[in-house]
Amino acid sequence: MSPVSPVFFCIGLCVLKASQAQSDPFPKPSLLAQPSSLVPLGQSVTLRCHGPPNVDLYRLENLESGNYKDENILSIATMKADNAGRYRCSYQNGSLWSPPSDQLELVATGVYTRPSLLAHPSSAVLPGRDVTLQCRTQYSFDGFVLYKEGDTGPYKRPEKWYRADFPIITVTAAHSGTYRCYSYSSASPYLWSAPSEPLVLVVTEPSATPSQVPTEVPSPATEPSATPSQVPIEVPSPTTGFAHQHYYAKGNLVRICLGAMVIILLVGILVEDWHSRKKCLTHRIRAMQRPLPPLPLV
């Protein structure tokens, strides 16, 4: 078998590269929503397709309805439920089309009433501890989304039984921030509720231990405090001492009288109980001494 000629090898490589360029000639465009892809009902939003310069034609498609527009900008003045869905865009140069952009999910919010967002056990957490953010609603939604202000994407966790739990394990300072959650039904994944009230998660630093509390050291310029030997000892006067003795004696006398009364009362109760027991015993003895009834005749 003769070796392959270098000329034929180069020709084959060039054909392969040409076929690859023919199948994917242009870079993929990007599709963005301004100001956000989460749009409250009645608000405005603009979809903008970005591609290379000198493009002959842009096409922006709504994949839910199948409608499209041959422009790179789609302005929605008033957001409605019909506008929600998946969008993508592409562009054309000559007779060739670029690959489509990544799909953009345009969501209408405020379709349903807002859920509630709670932190368990508390919204103030020590570093290293765990916390769970619970999104609850009165309806049987099976989709919940948690957003944190400043993050580019949401945390999604579909869950039934009217709530979703978003556990945060080993909390750090980076988890501090403001959170909101949404609820929706998987049957209409682009129609969401209004956002919950904001929940502020605070990661608190542990309080200083007693050994870490700084002690105040007197400066050389200040007068040194008196030592225990220099502190004058207040000696009570004889009149004051007599008044204190009289007060304590009076209190002891009252205590003695109360104790005597309690003892007398207990003695009376015991005597009364003894007399009652004696009466019962006497009655029982007399009953036993009564004559037996006569025997029946045979």
CATH number of the domain within which 90 lies? 2.60.40.10
Last residue of a domain, one of 56, 77, 110: 110
Inter-residue contact 101 to 28 (CB < 8 Å) = yes
pLDDT under 70: residue ranges of the chain: 1-24, 157-161, 207-251, 275-298
Number of domains composing the chain: 2
The whole domain housing 149 covers: 113-203
pLDDT at 145: 94
Last residue of a domain, one of 110, 141, 170: 110
* 298 lies in some domain: no
pLDDT at 115: 95
* 208 lies in some domain: no
Q: Domain check: are 44 and 85 in the same one?
A: yes
pLDDT at 252: 73
CA distance 169 to 171: 6
Show the 3-state SS of 168-180: ECCCCHHHCEEEE
Strands 57-62 and 68-69: antiparallel
* 266 lies in some domain: no
pLDDT at 121: 95
* 84 lies in some domain: yes
* 17 lies in some domain: no
Q: Domain check: are 90 and 121 in the same one?
A: no
Q: Domain check: are 102 and 117 in the same one?
A: no
- What is the value of pTM for the model shown? 0.61
Q: Domain check: are 143 and 156 in the same one?
A: yes
Last residue of a domain, one of 110, 127, 154: 110
| Burial class for 211, CB neighbours closer than 10 Å (0-12, 13-18, 19+) | exposed
Q: Domain check: are 144 and 175 in the same one?
A: yes
Q: Domain check: are 105 and 124 in the same one?
A: no
* 31 lies in some domain: yes
Strand partners, 203: 125
